[in-house]
Amino acid sequence: MITTVYANHYLLPPEEIKGENLRWVHVTHAGVDRIARPEILKRGIRVSGSAGYSVEALAEHALFFMLSLAYKSAELWDSQRRSAWEKEGREHLRSLCGHTVGIVGLGHIGQALATRCAAMGMRVVGYRRSVGPAPAGVDHMYTADDENGLEKLLGESDYVVLALPLTNASRGLMNARTLAMMKRSAKLINIARGEVVDETALINALKKDEIAGAGLDVFCQEPLPSDSPLWTLPNVLITPHTSAREPDRDERAVALICDNIGRYRAGLVLHNEVSDDDLFTP
């Protein structure tokens, strides 16, 4: 007998995944970092996630950050609350059109964001670990096989969007060294996982104006502690790890699971199946 489990990885830690006949765990979230552990795969258990079921909302969320930072929306809201007609300094703002966005991670979300940014007149450069043709909307592609590929992307981007999974390889990807490679006028957007960014290094870079701003939806510790300096930095926009929902999100999630059941029975590779490259060890 083969048992499959439809599991919410926020409720079911790896040490509680038991059963001699357990062969497959499906996670009901896009990220699988909390269950993508070596001890799980060594037991021969296959793990799959739900990446792709909420693509549009997350791509829009990245655009929300980019537009809000570009137009300094926080200042507009503050002026509106004070009934103040303040135009000084806003003549220096620039639209997204004509700027370069660097998307680190070109999975479902990264690809959806690329097409939207291209439609808005942005130049799109991307970075991913696998070699292959550039997805639609991407003007130039870097991969892990390119010498200094990530560094080149960081150096030419006005907006850097992190949309990659959290793995042992991506933990701390944005640190003091890589943040220093960004333009001083650039903004960092993180819709991936908090641990992809060294928060201490990011706070220092923002305080010293080494980068111009950040839009953050995810953090190393959630909820973000009330004493975190990120709350009060004027060039930071924070959302509490949440985004809007598509009207058919649940239907998509169920359809993905049903399709994976068919693939499992047929002995095929599952959609969003975890491999050794996806492992994450806390």
Contact 192, 165 (CB under 8 A): yes
Do 109 and 163 touch, CB atoms closer than 8 A? yes
- Cα(261)–Cα(177) distance, integer angstroms: 44
Is 177 a catalytic site residue? Answer: no
Active site residue 75: no
CB atoms within 10 A of CB 232: 8
Catalytic residue (choose from 29, 61, 128, 193) = 193
Whether 35 and 14 have beta carbons less than 8 Å apart is answered as yes
CA–CA separation, 155 and 168 (whole Å): 24
Q: Which of 241, 252, 263, 271 is catalytic?
A: 241
What distance in Å separates the CA atoms of residue 230 and residue 203, rounded to the nearest whole number?
7
| CA–CA dist 184, 208 (Å, integer) | 10
Which 3 state secondary structure label does DSSP give 173? coil
Options 39, 86, 222, 251, the catalytic residue? 222
Count of alpha carbons within 13 angstroms of residue 4, beta-carbon side: 14
Q: Is 222 a catalytic residue?
A: yes
CA distances from 12 to 16, 78, 194, 218 (A): 6, 42, 20, 21
Catalytic residue set: 193, 222, 241
